[in-house]
Copies of this chain bind each other. A is one copy, B any other.
Amino acid sequence: MAPRAAAAILSIGDELALGQTLDTNSRWIADRLFSLGVRAVEHATVSDDLGDIRDALGRLGERAGLVVCTGGLGPTADDLTRQALATLLGAALVEDGDAIEHLERWFAGRGGLPSINRVQALRPASGAALENPNGTAPGIRVRDERRGAEIFCLPGPPHEMRPMFERFVAPFAGTLADGVTRARLLMTFGLGESKLAEILDDLMDRDRGARGLPVVGTTASLGVVTCRIRATGPDADSATAALNNAEREVRERLEASNAGGIVFAARDVTQSGAGETKEALAQTVVEMLRDRGERFAVVESCTGGLVGGAVTAIAGSSDVFVGGWQTYSNDMKNAMVGVPDEVIAEHGAVSGVCARAMTRGALERLAASGIRADHALSVTGIAGPGGGSDDKPVGTVWIGCASRKPEGVISGEARRFVFKGGRGAIRSWSVNTALGLLRLRLAGTEMMLLGEQERELD
């Protein structure tokens, strides 16, 4: 059952309206609201224009009981959300004491609160300032009594907006929902989205919601395919029971296709970030290694440090991540992890032999320095746009993974992929695939990974 309670989303900013910046907030908010049982009936984007903002707020407040608005809370003359609210509600703007305190703390040690920033503490008299731990702009919550709408204004930067949504908007949205919706994400790596859709088949039918059945959808991002399962019921228990049943059915179908091993995480969508799947694979790898008391290192060529960057995005990754080398040049591969010059001369830096020499050399170098590491990942490839050949087209990436057995023997492998897309996509796919490969190794699952073209073992 699709949620019936209605919300509207407003994005404010010249840079958005004029197309200089892509608005990612509206999609994120709509997705989060849906998980909370509230349906976004409209998104609107307007310029930094007082009349336009006021009109949009009024119109959306007539359509929906909840209006979530982002942007226009900065300190400069083109930040007009506060004035637009005041005009809409015919209310005076007052300085919020807590907000001023927050701003003073923020600027303490930076020369004190600049006078221009004081305006950020203003809010309509009947409203409340919403604390923003990650920026200067407090949010505003205010009720539009005339239209019967609750308005939340949040700052535009996603890393400020998202935690504030969770803390302030999500609880209110929950009170609007007519029934309880529960959502769960099953995150997978290893199969393409269309293959997964084939396996899930009728579980993905769009009309299941109307028939009171849980709905399954998929989204794909750089190799990570997420199944979103949503179930609605009159109360939390029945919604959760329906969700559990649906999850079981999804897992059974995957098992029946010998693909049970692709699920690397299951997460209830109750709090932050239905869209926050970017770090999930790294999180899983960090947790698996921590459970085993093991550590790993990286040797990165075409990713230039992004595998380490993805792993260290996880707080506490220092328990399991030693560090590594960015061997962006051949002489670094040779000097730092001992890839023999002959290997590069004979096979090229983008080869399975090189990828395997990188992981083996890393584990040996670390052992020689008395640094314990149980596994190593290597990435070497052609991210483009130049550097490709018929033999090794742009997108060709070798990923190596090696482990040190307790008795000191090193065994490893390398797999060749040909990723599609631009330089950024090829590098991001490489990062996820490297983590996916380590995860498979840790899980003891033998399977071909998405798009794999060749494999070398040693």
Binding site for B on A (CB under 8 A): 14-24, 26-34, 39-49, 52, 56, 74-78, 106, 109-110, 114, 116-117, 134-135, 157, 159-160, 163, 193-195, 197-198, 204-206, 217-219, 221, 228, 269, 274-275, 298, 300, 302-309, 311-313, 315-318, 321-329, 331-332, 335-336, 369-371, 383-386, 418, 420-425, 427, 451, 453
Asked whether A269 lies within 8 Å of B77 as measured between CB atoms, the reply is: no
**Residue from B41, B75, B305 in contact with A197 in the complex, judged by beta carbons closer than 8 Å:** B75
A300 and B311 CA atoms in complex are apart in Å by 13
A312 and B306 CA atoms in complex are apart in Å by 9
Minimum CB–CB distance for A73 against chain B, Å: 13
A383 and B217 CA atoms in complex are apart in Å by 35
Evaluate whether A313 and B219 lie within 8 angstroms (CB atoms) in the complex, with A19-B31, A26-B45 already known. Answer: no
Chain B residues positioned under 8 Å from A385 (CB to CB): 315
Evaluate whether A198 and B114 lie within 8 angstroms (CB atoms) in the complex, with A42-B46, A42-B52, A275-B15 already known. Answer: yes
Asked whether B27 lies within 8 Å of A313 as measured between CB atoms, the reply is: no
Asked whether A313 lies within 8 Å of B19 as measured between CB atoms, the reply is: no
For the complex with contacts A43-B43, A300-B308, A305-B324, 6 further pairs of A-B residues with Cβ separation under 8 Å are A17-B40, A22-B22, A23-B27, A159-B425, A313-B424, A323-B328
Minimum CB–CB distance for A186 against chain B, Å: 13
A41 and B46 CA atoms in complex are apart in Å by 6
**Residue from B30, B157, B326, B425 in contact with A324 in the complex, judged by beta carbons closer than 8 Å:** B326
Chain B residues positioned under 8 Å from A217 (CB to CB): 14-15, 20, 48, 78
**Residue from B274, B303, B332 in contact with A20 in the complex, judged by beta carbons closer than 8 Å:** B274
Shortest Cβ distance from A24 into B: residue: B22
